[in-house]
Amino acid sequence: MRLLCKWWGWDRTLPSEHGTEEREDRRNQGDRLIGYALENLGEGALFMDQHGDPHVLIDGSPMPLNSRCYSWLRRLMWEREERAVNGEYLRTAAGTLAAQAEFAGEAKELHTRAAWHEGALYYELRPGKVVRVGPGGWTFEAHPPVLFRRYPNLKPLPDPGVGGSLDGLLSLVNLKSERDRRLFTAYLVTVPLPHVGCPILSASGPMGSGKTTAGRAVKRLWDPTAPETVRYDPRDFLQKAGHCYVPMLDNLSTLPDSAADTLCRLVTGEADSKRKLYTDDEDVIVELRRAVILNGINAPTDRGDVLDRSLVVELERIPDRDRRTEEEMWAAFEREYPRLLEAAFDVLAKAIACKSSLQLSRRPRLADWGEYAASVYEVMGWGAEAFLSDWDEVVKVQNRATLDGSPVAQAVMKFMEYRDSYQGTSTELHKKLEDVAEDIGVSVSRDKAWPKSARWLWRRIQEVVPLLVASGIEATRSEEKRGTVIVLRKTPADDATNATGLENVTGKPDTGGNTASSNATKAPNATANATQNPADTAESGISGNSGIRSGGFAGPAFSDARPGEDVTVAELKARRTGLSLEDERRVCELVRKGFSERSARQEVAAKDHPIDCECEVCQ
């Protein structure tokens, strides 16, 4: 064999740089490839991420040691030997390097687009280009202390320019009111903060109002990707959301319950795992928090937990004479893009500096984001308390949408209209609420949101507890020998926000005053700074200093109540219905005894009719 090799020139030696012959490395391609990789890597280049996945650091960029590193290994082999390498050796080399990373004992956290580190924001514009935003302003960071993941669908952002203003971006969005413009601005500036739960931006409005454009403006400013929007799929949605920073769901008419649950978790922080492919006991872990954008003609869901985490902004239909082409609009956006980024980074840096000294009279839902949003208001010259006032209006919209979608909440509020408290088993309450629901036009047999059995009643009540508390109704549950007992009680209206704006199912106007009496029901007042304006003689707040003497009545006020007037519920009812005051008192008494309001009114109206009367009232 040696003679044959010598005859044909196969002597297995290669000339060295100095002219002498050296024996060729006879290891297989996989072993040689591992050697080339280790020679190329510096100290600490092999590591595990926060989820236990092996990575390699190449030119400062992390790369997972799976099939995505094959291109790097192929390039190494070609640079060293000018040879191709087959799949088996690639898998061998990647697996061996992964084992080296696993036992290297080093773990590093990886981020997508944005990272919060030691009081400053690090935002990646593109690989190798990172901006640091802190209390002292923003600057480019050549050697950031954090690492960012690489996904092929992430598009680069330009370098920030000079002399920009956020007005250029707001001109693309046809917002309905100044309140919407302020809230949209606060949201836009705070999107890059990855450590706070940012509310779901929900743009609503008629067809042709630019809802998709509003979402795209935020998306393209902070997180341009391909594709731009994602479609909800229970199996793959978390992966899609993990491969971007701002997932956008466009033109939604409805939102499945599973999607609603997932979006709620994305706001506060989502974590999940699934079995790794071709394994029995290995997991793929997903852990993320995202700023979500969705839009639709109407809110795609009326679930309270989703609305509670949403920032709803309204848009107006764009008149045909004012409509612009997309080509013109996005060309203007591209021209202003660097300056828009500079303006956003500048406001954000000032807001971060302002937050440490900010003192709010109260904190809204998603309190961490609320503090940053209030800081943006301060920086923009609107004042932090103006944010609380604007957010109260958002809460009104949330509560009204929740009320519209919850027949249980409507029935409970109607049921407690003339009661100070109620205690009974879930079965008893379920039966009474069914009667009330029929009175207010809810079909208990057809409405899917209505609990079909008493076992589900408490679950439905729990879903609307914040709404009931804002209306001055407290719901509690206890277990006794006779079964589950539910207690409903009138309480001072929730002061978490200053303007719930709830409208009672009977169509009465909002409550607007506060009282000072010890057993009074305090309705929230509509001012931003939560200053209390007690009624002089009222036992229950109506508006200004007028009072309804009802022994703790907490329902919304009647429009007939006048400032300074001392009046009872029955008197106000009599004005509205045309019955005598005595008859109205009788109606209230029957309702307290368990009659539905309709039945009580029929009973009172027919009290002087003969037994065999066949009039409309008696029938």
Measured CA to CA, the distance from residue 228 to residue 215 in angstroms comes to: 10
Note whether residue 278 is domain-resident: yes
Q: Which of 474, 491, 508 is the last residue of a domain?
A: 491
C-alpha dihedral over 464, 467, 473, 479, to 10 degrees? Answer: 20
Same domain, 416 and 321: no
Note whether residue 119 is domain-resident: no
pLDDT at 284: 73
pLDDT at 142: 93
Note whether residue 11 is domain-resident: no
Same domain, 237 and 97: no
- The strand pair at 114-117 and 200-204 is best described as unpaired
Could you tell me the pTM of the whole model? 0.71
Note whether residue 316 is domain-resident: yes
> Any idea what the CATH number is for the domain that residue 342 is in?
3.40.50.300
Closest C-alpha to 246, from 195, 294, 298, 183: 294
| Domain span at 78 | 27-102
Yes or no: say if 572 and 560 are a contact pair by the CB < 8 Å rule: yes
Amino acid of residue 254: T
pLDDT tens digit sequence for 524-549: 333 334 333 333 333 333 333 334 44
Same domain, 171 and 309: yes
Same domain, 234 and 344: yes
pLDDT at 599: 73
Number of structural domains the chain divides into: 3
pLDDT under 50: residue ranges of the chain: 1-8, 10-13, 19-23, 495-566
pLDDT at 56: 94
Note whether residue 442 is domain-resident: yes
3-state secondary structure of 285: strand
pLDDT at 8: 45
Query: What six digits make up the tokens of 349?
Result: 């840096």
Same domain, 227 and 313: yes
Helix axes 29-40, 87-102, angle to 10 degrees: 40
3-state secondary structure of 78: helix
Same domain, 189 and 298: yes
pLDDT at 59: 86
